[in-house]
Structure 1
Amino acid sequence: MRKFAAAAVLLGSMFMVSGCAALVGGAVGAGGTATGYEVHLDNERDRVEEAYKEGRMSREEYDIRVDQIRRDSAVQ
């Protein structure tokens, strides 16, 4: 679901730009960067959840980390 949302953000950013091909290229580059960052956050969220389930992280630390990841994400 998150990958679909990231792809939707990428496509939306491409359609918002009109005119010059250089601007479209810039929008694609920015969209690709944003998508890569969302994938990184998704991986980090999985890593934090795994650490919590294995008992390497307290509930308080887990909640703090998940909240940080949620605030950093453009797709909520």
Structure 2
Amino acid sequence: MEKTYVIGALLLVAVTCGCSSRGGSAAGGALGGAAIGAGAYEYNAYRQMQQLDQDYKTGKMNKQEYEIRKNQIEKGSLFQK
């Protein structure tokens, strides 16, 4: 949950800086778009981890499958560790 706040704060700063000047508007827009994209990607990784944990707890996969999939998700994420 803390990571979501960090991403939100970074997005807010990027949008605010981008709106402060005409020249910064394009850069701020690009930065804001990148931040939104990264936030959406991280949220998807978070959801995948939640689903993975649930599948493991209900017995839909064994420990080895769980560890393999967990490592795959963590490699593609900045915050999932």
Secondary structure of 2:60 counterpart? coil
Cα deviation 1:39-74 (Å, max 9, x = unaligned): 000000000000000000110010011111111112
Is it true that 1:2 corresponds to 2:3 in the alignment?
A: yes
- Residue in structure 1 matching 2:57, options 47, 53, 59: 53
Which structure's CA Rg is the greater one?
2
Structure 1: which 5+ runs fail to align? none
Corresponding residue of 1:24: 28
> What is the percent sequence identity of the aligned residues?
30
Length-normalised TM-score, structure 2: 0.76
Length-normalised TM-score, structure 1: 0.80
Aligned equivalents of 1:71, 1:11: Cα separation in 2: 27
CA RMSD of aligned residues (A): 2.2
Structure 2: which 5+ runs fail to align? none
Tell me the CA shift for residue 6 of structure 1.
2.8
Aligned equivalents of 2:73, 2:10: Cα separation in 1: 18
Tell me the CA shift for residue 5 of structure 1.
3.5
Residues matched between the structures, number: 74
